[in-house]
Amino acid sequence: PPVRVLPPAARAPLPQVTVRDALNQALDEELERDERVFLLGEEVAQYDGAYKISRGLWKKFGDKRIIDTPISEMGFTGIAVGAAMAGLRPVCEFMTFNFSMQAIDQVINSAAKTCYMSAGSIAVPIVFRGPNGASAGVAAQHSQCFAAWYGHCPGLKVVSPWSSEDAKGLLKTSIRDDNPVVMLENELLYGVPFEMSEAAQSKDFLVPIGKAKVERQGTHVTLVSHSRPVGHCLEAAAVLAKEGVECEVINLRTIRPMDIETIEASVVKTNHLVTVEGGWPQFGVGAEICARIMEGPAFNYLDAPAVRVTGADVPMPYAKILEDNCVPQVKDIIFAVKKTLNI
C-alpha cells in the first residue's frame, strides 16, 4: 500500500527540552550504561547540583557514583584525572570554568599530555564540564570564555554546545571518548528550551566531536559561532532576511578539532565571512578561523575581508549597561554583516 504522509498539522509537535534537562538525561543514561562513569564536583550530590544539572542522580546512583567534593578544584580534578588513568570514566564538574584555573595544571599537564607522553599506552578518558563565558551580573571573575585557552592545547578535545540536542549528544559522546574532553556549557542557556527530535530522545543519540552544524542555509554571508551567540546569529539572520540578506549560520559545536571544511564550503558559496564569539578578541576562536580561511583554498573566494565580532577587550564589568556593551549583541552582528557586504 502507498505510504501515508500525515499533513504537518497532524504530526505531534516535538517536545521542548531545556539544556539543563538534556544534560541531566545524558548523565543519567551514561551512568546507567557504564558503571565506570561517575560524577564529582562541588554540590553535585545532595544539593542536586549548583545549576540542578545533576538533579535526582545522587538519589538514584548513590555516594559512590555521585560525589560531593570540597571547594578545592586542584584536589578533586587531580583525583578525577588519576581515576581516569586507572580505568574509570570521571565527569568532573566545575562550578564555573573560571575556577578551572585552579586546576589547569591537572587538565593540561596531567590529562592532556599523558596519552602522547606514554606513547599511547595510558588513556585518560575524562570529561571536564560546567558553565563557561559570561553569565549575567557576575563580574570579571565569573565571566571569562576559555574556548581559546583550552582550544590551544593539543591532547584535549573541546566542545561548546548551543542547543539541547548539542548538549545531550556532545556530552554522551564525550563520556564515551577515550581522550580528555573539555565541555564548555553556558549558564544562560541552561533554562532555555529547544525542540528535541525523535532521534535525540533515544539513548543511542550521539553528536560527533569535530563536526559543525549548518543551522540555517544562506547565500550572501557566512556567520560562524559557538555556544550562546549561535542564537544571536540566528536572530540577526532573521532580521537581515527581511532586508533581503540571506545569512548562512554555522554552529561550530566543537572548538578542537575544528571543522574548517564546513566553514570553507560555506565561504566558497557566500564569499563573505563573519565570526561571532563571546570571548576576547586577541588570539580568539574567530582569529583562528580567519587565519585558517586565509591559509586555505577558500581565501580566493572571499569578496571582502573576514570580520570578527567578539567580546570587548576588558575584564567583564559588573554594571549591567557596561556588561551589555561588552558582550556581542544582535545589533553588533547586523552591523558587521552590513559592513562586510558594504550595504
Residues labelled catalytic? 73, 142
**Shortest CA distance to 280 belongs to which of 313, 247, 256, 254?**
313
Q: Which set of grid coordinates corresponds to residue 266?
A: 560555506
In the DSSP assignment, the letter for residue 118 is T
Gyration radius of the chain's alpha carbons: 20
CA dist., res. 337 & res. 36, Å (int):
48
Which residues, listed in sequence order, are joined to residue 40 by a DSSP beta bridge? 67, 92
Helices and strands (DSSP H and E) totals, the chain: 12, 14
- Give start and end residues of each alpha helix (H) in 144-242: 147-151, 164-176, 229-241
**Is 294 within 8 Å of 250 (Cβ atoms)?**
no
Q: Residue 331: count other Cβ atoms within 10 Å of its Cβ.
A: 11
Q: Which helix (H) or strand (E) holds 78?
A: helix 73-85
Q: Which residues of 258-329 form beta strands (DSSP E)?
A: 273-276, 307-309
What does the chain come to in residues?
343
Please report where in the chains the cell 532521534 appears, as a residue.
Answer: 199
**Shortest CA distance to 52 belongs to which of 24, 94, 28?**
24
Is the backbone of residue 87 left (phi > 0), alpha (psi -120 to 50) or beta?
left
Which residues, listed in sequence order, are joined to residue 194 by a DSSP beta bridge? 17
- Is 248 strand, coil or helix? strand
CA dist., res. 266 & res. 259, Å (int):
12
Q: Residue 28: count other Cβ atoms within 10 Å of its Cβ.
A: 17
